[in-house]
Amino acid sequence: MTALPLSTQLINLCAALLLLTSFAMLSQRRIVSLVNLFAVQGGVLTASTAIVAYSSGQHHLYYSAVLSGVLKVLLLPWILHRLIARLNVRWDTEPLINIPTTMLVGIVLVVFSFGLAQPVTQLATTISHGTLGIALAVVMLSFLMMITRTKAISQVVGFLAMENGLFFAATSATYGMPMVVELGVALDVLVGMVILGVFFFQIREQFDSLDLEHMEKLKEDD
């Protein structure tokens, strides 16, 4: 049985770490720890992109790795930590589904993602094509976190983690997106964070809480 190249083993390790951080984020209720896990996930994504760039000779991926590191490891976590400190939000409320049930649903989504990615994996020719199932699983788990949390910041972190999964899927299947597209996405995410920061303060001013259930009750009253 032929041993896998070292680069492929490292990429598979990064993929496994991405999946583990997604499950850790799914079970985390402390918002500061949730943001820290997002930063760790961004660091793993940066390392994976750099390894793919080195092993495949796709030099534009080095720029993608640097952009990912600056944005997802440094800038976005710093913005989120500043928002948490200003809003004094430390803990998420009880999720809509309890943690054990959420983890079981997450396992089902992972199995579903691997089955969904199987046909595409067989057609892909990249060295990291075997990790496409994990990339889709990260997207699914992030979406699950968005729909089971009630705090606005937790849902935003879930959205950002979903973007991590999509970026990893693009790297796995096609060696990434064109640089112009990646820069546009990065700018959109950054501008979106600024807008959401203003949105958080408006919610806090109106309801004295970041729990989105208050907005749902307001809609029911109308």
129 vs 111 pLDDT, higher one? 111
Q: Which two tokens stand for residue 155?
A: 């849902």
61 vs 138 pLDDT, higher one? 138
Position 130: which residue type? G
Assess whether pLDDT exceeds 60 at residue 208.
no
For residue 12, the model assigns a pLDDT of: 86
Mean pLDDT of the chain: 77
For residue 1, the model assigns a pLDDT of: 42
| Cα three-residue angle 160-31-100, rounded to 5 degrees | 90
pLDDT tens across 97-111, in order? 788 888 999 999 999
pLDDT tens across 145-159, in order? 888 887 777 888 888
Q: What is the pTM of this model?
A: 0.80
For residue 218, the model assigns a pLDDT of: 46
Phi, psi of 40 (to 5 degrees): -60, -45
* 48 touches 14 (CB < 8 A): yes
Q: Scanning the structure block, which residue is given the tokens 């060295």? A: 127
Helices 152-174, 76-87: axis angle to 10 degrees equals: 170
What is the rounded distance in angstroms from the CA atom of residue 121 to the CA atom of residue 197? 38
Provide DSSP, 90-103. -BPPPPSS-HHHHH
